[in-house]
Amino acid sequence: MPEAQTPLPGALDAFVTELIANGFELVPESAGSLWSGPVLPCFQPLTDAERMRVEIRDGWPFLPPYVRVEGLRSAEHYGGHDIVCLWRDNYPGTPWLHWPEVVERAEEWCRRVQRDGFRPGDLAADAFLVFRDGDPMLATFNLSTLCTAFITGKSQRIHAIQDESCCTVDLRPGKGPRGSASARLFFVGELRTAPTNHLELEAALTPQQVERLRRDISRSPGGPEPPIEFVLLCWRNQGVLDAVVLRVTTGREDGPYGLRSLEPAPTDPATLVNRGGPEFRALQRKRVTLFGVGSVGSHVALSLAECGVGRLLLVDGDRLRPGNVVRHLSGRQGTGCHKAVLTATIIRSHVATTEVTWDLRSPFGSRDIWTIIQGSDCVVDCTGVWPAQQLLALVAQDAGIDLVSAALYRQGGVGRVRRQARGDVPILTRGARQGYVQVPEAADPKEEVVEIGCTDPVNTAPPSSALALAGTTVQVVVATLTGFRDHPEDLIAVYRPLPEAPFDEVGIIKCPWS
């Protein structure tokens, strides 16, 4: 075992001194990483082990040490390889810098095991880590489609499709097509500690389930029903559903079969949107029409879908040129295709909950715009084209539909997001009002870049400005859709200082000024 890598060896040495003072000795050949000492008194009622180990890991002191105690009985929060789960790895602090604090935490852990119980927030559904033998593949599944009813003693036929190139195994209901692997789902009701090997698995099953399992495993490979290759074990722990996916291995010397755990990765709709943000469900009912699917708009469109917008209409007649790729959501392979179509395709590969359609026009007719935006909860203008900005603002105002307009200025030095919702000053009247600023044209414009095939000079705003503006735009749109007015009507972000005040400092300018 190599020595733990730490940028702060002084802190580690102080901890090691305390370990030694408390009877710990370095395990030979462990290069300072693994220490053996007398088991703490708090663990004694829970184990027959007389000694315990402390492992210093890479990343000390920002990662907690592993505290390992063999044979803890009836213990939750007791990981694979005898690790006692005292802290999560992502714990923001270093309360383990000194041995007495580790002891105090261990004592609290023991109290919870023996008397107080753990809180639901302490739970981690990582039973696959506890299993003795691991498998490198990822197992995907949607429990709600695999199992119609979670009844204790349930046993259900399922199958697995393996994708070696992606290292995934996808579990699906029923008997699968030729070439798929046979599998079985078991539900065992309430289970406090996950099994770590095949014996503990069988102990968790009902006798009928055990019989089913053994029969499924021992079937002849050449027979009409092949032996199962995977087991999906499901249970509840304090009401929370947990599962482990196991690959069956045969031909072992230590028993009729063995099991290796795969990392489980649910694909049910709720899981797929867990990371979509707190507004996801509310946004599912919303419809957004987005004009301009270029360097800003393409990223806005994807992000709005990922945040949960239920219906998205992309309006843009432009096609992707090779020079666009460096800022656009789409890659080189989309050159020549319509930006709206490319963006919609990418959105569909990311998000299954957004219905995305497109309109391959770049309309300037007010009636056409009116028709397009009907039924929208919000119009998003990412055209970056002045005439389109004016027209969209006017038509949206007339239609009574909220509008958010975003654009970069001064070669990406400034980005502006303007909201026009009920109660806001209409965009077209802001220029004349106090408290609103216009981004001035450069007094000494730099030589512009002209590109063959482009009518207008190329805007050399960097991709970073486009992405920054897209992020802010999405935040304003989401707030607008969910009825919040936390942002100012005009939000101007200075990414690169300009000579002119108030744009001469990096930061945010909020308008109207109060």
**Within 10 Å of residue 290's Cβ, how many Cβ atoms?**
30
Provide the minimum distance between the beta carbon of 4 and another protein in the complex, in angstroms, as a whole number: 11
**CA–CA distance, 309 with 279 (Å, rounded to integer):** 9
Tokens, residue 359: 């309109």
16 binds another protein (CB under 8 A): yes
Query: Sheet of 355-359: strands edge to edge?
Result: 355-359, 311-315, 287-291, 378-381, 402-409, 414-420, 490-494, 507-511
Torsion-angle region of 225 (φ positive above 0: left; ψ -120 to 50: alpha; else: beta): beta
Provide the minimum distance between the beta carbon of 508 and another protein in the complex, in angstroms, as a whole number: 22
**Within 10 Å of residue 365's Cβ, how many Cβ atoms?**
12
Binding another protein (rule: CB under 8 A), the pick from 58, 74, 91, 450 is 91
Provide the minimum distance between the beta carbon of 120 and another protein in the complex, in angstroms, as a whole number: 16
Binding another protein (rule: CB under 8 A), the pick from 61, 64, 65, 334 is 61
Provide the minimum distance between the beta carbon of 18 and another protein in the complex, in angstroms, as a whole number: 9
**Of 101 and 163, which has the nearer Cβ to another protein?**
101
Cα angle 112, 115, 120; round to 5: 45
- What are the start-end ranges of the E strands in 96-133? none
**Of 95 and 512, which has the nearer Cβ to another protein?**
95
**Of 3 and 355, which has the nearer Cβ to another protein?**
3
Provide the minimum distance between the beta carbon of 110 and another protein in the complex, in angstroms, as a whole number: 17
Nearest alpha-carbon partner for 331 in 347, 314, 343, 340: 343
Q: Say what the alpha-carbon torsion angle 322, 328, 331, 334 is, to the nearest 10 degrees.
A: -60
**Burial of 383: CB neighbours in 10 Å, binned 0-12, 13-18, 19+:** buried
17 binds another protein (CB under 8 A): yes
Provide the minimum distance between the beta carbon of 55 and another protein in the complex, in angstroms, as a whole number: 14
Tokens, residue 238: 């304090």
- Going by the DSSP 8-state scheme, the letter that residue 425 receives in this structure is P
**CA–CA distance, 62 with 59 (Å, rounded to integer):** 6
**Of 28 and 224, which has the nearer Cβ to another protein?**
28
Element (H, E) at 70: none
Write the DSSP string, 194-215.
---SHHHHHHHS-HHHHHHHHH
Tokens, residue 124: 């981690």
Provide the minimum distance between the beta carbon of 173 and another protein in the complex, in angstroms, as a whole number: 34
8 binds another protein (CB under 8 A): yes
26 binds another protein (CB under 8 A): yes
Provide the minimum distance between the beta carbon of 415 and another protein in the complex, in angstroms, as a whole number: 23
Binding another protein (rule: CB under 8 A), the pick from 14, 42, 49, 282 is 14
Provide the minimum distance between the beta carbon of 108 and another protein in the complex, in angstroms, as a whole number: 9
Provide the minimum distance between the beta carbon of 44 and another protein in the complex, in angstroms, as a whole number: 19
**Of 121 and 221, which has the nearer Cβ to another protein?**
121
- Restricted to residues 93-112, the positions that interact with another protein (CB under 8 A) are 93-95, 97-98, 101
- Restricted to residues 136-195, the positions that interact with another protein (CB under 8 A) are none
Binding another protein (rule: CB under 8 A), the pick from 2, 21, 177, 452 is 21
Total of residues contacting another protein (CB under 8 A): 27
User: What totals of helices (H) and strands (E) does the chain contain, helices first?
Assistant: 14, 20
Provide the minimum distance between the beta carbon of 10 and another protein in the complex, in angstroms, as a whole number: 4
**Of 92 and 387, which has the nearer Cβ to another protein?**
92
For residue 153, how many C-alpha atoms fall within 13 Å in the half-sphere facing its CB? Answer: 3
- Restricted to residues 117-146, the positions that interact with another protein (CB under 8 A) are none
11 binds another protein (CB under 8 A): yes
Nearest alpha-carbon partner for 442 in 500, 380, 384: 500
398 binds another protein (CB under 8 A): no
Tokens, residue 500: 């002119």
Of 3-11, 290-298, 306-314, 420-428, the segment contacting another protein by CB under 8 A is 3-11
Tokens, residue 86: 């005292």
Tokens, residue 491: 């939000």
**Of 97 and 425, which has the nearer Cβ to another protein?**
97
Of 4-12, 323-331, 356-364, 423-431, the segment contacting another protein by CB under 8 A is 4-12
28 binds another protein (CB under 8 A): yes
**Of 11 and 161, which has the nearer Cβ to another protein?**
11
Of 21-29, 441-449, 452-460, 465-473, the segment contacting another protein by CB under 8 A is 21-29
**CA–CA distance, 135 with 118 (Å, rounded to integer):** 29
Beta bridge partners of 357: 313
**CA–CA distance, 100 with 341 (Å, rounded to integer):** 61
25 binds another protein (CB under 8 A): yes
**CA–CA distance, 24 with 38 (Å, rounded to integer):** 7
Could you report how far apart the first and last alpha carbons of the chain are, in Å?
63
9 binds another protein (CB under 8 A): yes
**Interface residues toward another protein, by CB under 8 A:** 7-14, 16-17, 20-21, 23, 25-26, 28, 32, 61, 90-95, 97-98, 101
